[in-house]
Each structure stands twice: as structure tokens, then as C-alpha cells.
Structure 1
Amino acid sequence: MAKIRALLVDDEPLAIRGLTLRLEKFDDLEIIGTCSNGREAVKAIKEQKPDLVFLDIQMPGFDGFSVVRSLVGQTEIPLIVFVTAFDQYAFEAFEAHALDYLLKPVEEERLEEAIVRVREALSQRIAIEQNARLVDLIESMDEPPKEALTAILEKPVEHKEERYDPHLRIKDRGHITIVDVADVDYVDAAGDYMCIHVGEKTHILRETMKTMEKRLDPRVFQRVHRSTIVNLDKVKEVRPHSNGECFLTLMCGVELKVSRSYKDVVGRFL
């Protein structure tokens, strides 16, 4: 039996990673790629022709609705499952048009229901009809003319000036150690000082947690406790606890507790 070829589209790396982990349990589904913005998604859909697209709506610039609009006129449009942080009531009008929608953080049971609907849609060969209704709905909204959409798609990506620190300069007794932020495993607070953990080494930096958060890219570094910031790229394992807390195991072997106040961060992993 041929596998369902799926494309994941979301501008949040953590959301992509979390959905990828959850989809691994479905043996008949294959993730053929991921996209971090709408224009990448349109290109990937046209070139790779996936059967299914998990599509975030709230993306800067070229959102999920714009992605669907740009597919108007194509003979093969994949099944669309919205994955979004929108309130459920905002989707009552779309439920009959999109194949399904999932609210973040994605619940295991809802994801299973969505996959069942995908299987049924493909087996009954109703994908074309289903997506025709979705396109009709979105086309009825206020939208820029087709020429404007084309211009947006063809417009070069503007690289904004990086506002997050790529390096941390640690001063110690007259010496300055430059630490590459990408190498940092996690940061924890000790009063007015930050402990910067890099492998087996720990550097001490006089800084507040609030200031440190502003210096680090939130797409990579997330606060998981009132006194801990973790590098998401260093997470090896997520282990939920019955009391609502979670534990992260990093590649370096360190285990960190995620408090219930920051459960939404881990919810995207699961």
C-alpha cells in the first residue's frame, strides 16, 4: 500500500518538530518535507505534489490562506489540514471546507481522528471535491488580486538584520571567553548571575534572566522553568510526568525539569 506523502508547514521550528514526532506512529504516512513559510510551501507543493499538507495559518507575510489561494487553477491540490493556535470557534465556518483542523498544542486523539479522515478521503477519492470547496471559500474572502499574489511569491526574501546575539562574551579575571550561542546546552539562573552550560564547561555571566531571554533567539531557546532556558536543538528526549510537569533529556545527558507554567512549550514537542 502506497504511503500518504505529507508536507509540514509552520514558521515555528518547535511546532514542526513536535508534529513530526507525533506523526512517526503512523506507519502509512511519510513526511516528505517541511517548510517554514508560505512561499516555500507553495513551491514544495507544486514540485513534490504531496497527498497531504499540515498547514499553519498564522505565518508572517504569506499566511496559510494565501498558500491555498495560490494553488487555484492547479489540477492536483493536496488535502489540507490546518494546524493553528486560533480559537476553535473561529473555525466553525471552515470545518465543512477544509478536511480537518487541529488546535495547538495538538492533542494525540485529535491527530488520530485527522489521520483517519485523511485515509477515508484518499480511499474514497474525494480529495478533489473537498479542496475545491476550500478554494471556493477562501476565494470568497477579501484577497489581493492574482497579480499581487504572484508578486508576493516571486519577491526575494528580505533578510532582516539579526537582533539576537550569535556569541556571548564571558569576562573572568581580565580574560574574555567568546562562546558560540549555538553550542550552549542550557542556561540557568543563580541570583543575578547566569550559568552558561556548554558541554562539560560552565561559564558564569552577570546577567538577569529577563535580559538573557531578550539576547537569545526564541526559535531556538525557550524558557522551561522560571530559572532555566534550554536550547531546543539540544533536546534528545521528552518525558511527561503524571503531575503535569515534564523532563527534558539533553544530548549532553543532563535532565531538566519543565514546570507546569511552561507546559505549552513542551506541548508542541509531544
Structure 2
Amino acid sequence: MKVIIIEDEKIASDLLQQMLLEIDASIEIVDKCYDLSSGVKSIKKYEPELIFLDVELPVYSGLQLLDFFNEDDINFKIIFTTASNQHAIQAFEMSAIDYVLKPIQPDKLKQAINKYKEQAIVKSYENLSALTQNIQTPNIKKIVIPVSTGFEILNVKDIIYIKAEGSYTKIYLSNNISYTMSKNLKYFESVFETNKSFVRIHRSYLVNINFITRIIKNDGFYAVFDEATQLPIINDKIEEVIKLIGS
């Protein structure tokens, strides 16, 4: 497996190299670069399968990698190394991009390597594009959903509601398509915490209030999205829902 490390701190770069070789002796570190520009040149020269990419680099951020490649050129996988905050971590997860937090722990690094080996190499352009949008704004803009043929990129604004199904959730879109994700509803509630368009109206439903057409009372309150979709609102949430719709 050919690997390139792009990390501006030499000590951190050397330590990461040592840890990788201890985890898997078959890993070939073909180059170590200390800024994105030299990293781009190295990627084009060596055509690695996997890149460890620091987010915080001098001059250019690691997130600007897309600026130097055409979509068809990105046929490698990336594992970001980052000392990010909670929002950034959620952005990585929603964009289906792998990451390890600094200071890097051997067990977490090993997990990332094993995850890479289990997955087929797929083009990462759309995933990186989604990450760039997600990490630069307080609200997640796109969600990357793994499917049998690769990944689907969903715009958050197109989500009508998310339904809890045990430890999974089902995402319903405005185009009448739905997807299942292996995240619970509480996780999505945390992801959309700063997005005022989403509110938990029931233990089983997180909804986008922009799609609510009316609220009816019939042995309890219900949010109406269309004639076929009416979801219950618990009494404790009705005032919050009305206030959010009004604002």
C-alpha cells in the first residue's frame, strides 16, 4: 500500500510514519510533505492509494486539496489528521471522510487503517466537496450516504424528516426517496443542533419545519407535510414548533 503523509510538523510526521509501519509493515511511505503544494506534486508523481492529510497546513489548508485536482484525478483515499472541535468532527462524519484526532492514538490509527482496507477505493471528489461545505459553516449542508454502488450526496435542505428505527434512522427526502443510516436519532439531533429548520417533535421524529404545511389537532397535535404524511407532535413541543415556523 503506497502512502503519502502531508504534515507540516516534522516530529508529528516522523511519529506517524513510525506508528504506521508498526501497525502494518507492508505500508510503503513513498513521501512525506510539509505543505499542500509539495503534497499535490507528490500525489501526481507517486499516485498513492492512501494519503494522511493534516487539516492545518501553512499557506493552504488540507481542505483545499480539491483546488489542485480535477474530479477524475481523485482516485485515492484520504484520512485527515486533525485537532478539530465537535462541529468539525460531525462535518467529517456527515461527509463520509475518515479522520483521526490529534494527538494520534495507536488504536485509533489502527482502526482507520482497518476501515480503509475493508472499503473499496472509490473516487472521493464529492465526499471532499461535501466536507469543504460542511466544515466551513456552522450548519451541516450535505450528508454523504453509503449505498451499494458507492455514495449518494444529499442536500440537507431536501430532507423532510428523519425517523428513528431502533439504532438506525430513515431519512425521507422531498423527491420521495428514503435512505437508512446506522446513526440514531439523537445523533442527528446533535448534528442539526444549530440549524433552526430542524426540531425533534416526537421521540421518533426529527423534522424540517420548512416542509410543514399546517398543524392539526385530532386527539393530539400533528404536523402535516402532505395528505399522506402526518407526524405526531408531543404537547411539550407544540409551542416551540409554532414559534420556529413563525420565525
TM-score, normalisation: structure 2: 0.50
Runs of 5+ consecutive residues of structure 2 not aligned to the other structure:
137-247
Note if 1:66 corresponds to 2:61.
no
- Provide the residue aligned with 1:127 in structure 2: 122
- Provide the residue aligned with 1:155 in structure 2: none
Deviations 1:128-180 (A, max 9, x none): 2xx1332331464799xxxxxxxxxxxxxxxxxxxxxxxxxxxxxxxxxxxxx
Shift of the alpha carbon at 1:127?
Answer: 2.0
Match of 2:105 among 104, 107, 119: 107
- Provide the residue aligned with 1:39 in structure 2: 37
- Provide the residue aligned with 2:115 in structure 1: 117
Note if 1:10 corresponds to 2:7.
yes
Q: What is the correspondence of 1:31-180 to structure 2 with a 5 Å cutoff?
A: 31-121=29-119, 125-128=120-123, 131-138=124-131, 140=133
SS at match of 2:93: coil
Q: Equivalents in 1 of 2:66, 2:79: separation in Å? A: 11
Deviations 1:11-32 (A, max 9, x none): 1001101101101121231111
Q: Judge conservation of contact 1:9–1:54 (CA < 8 Å) in 2.
A: yes
Q: Equivalents in 2 of 1:89, 1:72: separation in Å? A: 28
User: CA-atom RMSD, angstroms?
Assistant: 2.2
C-alpha change, 1:88 and 1:138, in structure 2 (3 Å) is closer
Equivalenced residue count is 135
Runs of 5+ consecutive residues of structure 1 not aligned to the other structure:
144-270
Shift of the alpha carbon at 1:59?
Answer: 0.8
SS at match of 2:92: coil
- Provide the residue aligned with 2:242 in structure 1: none
The structure whose RCO (Cα within 8 Å, separation 6+) is larger is: 1
Deviations 1:180-236 (A, max 9, x none): xxxxxxxxxxxxxxxxxxxxxxxxxxxxxxxxxxxxxxxxxxxxxxxxxxxxxxxxx
Q: Judge conservation of contact 1:72–1:135 (CA < 8 Å) in 2.
A: no
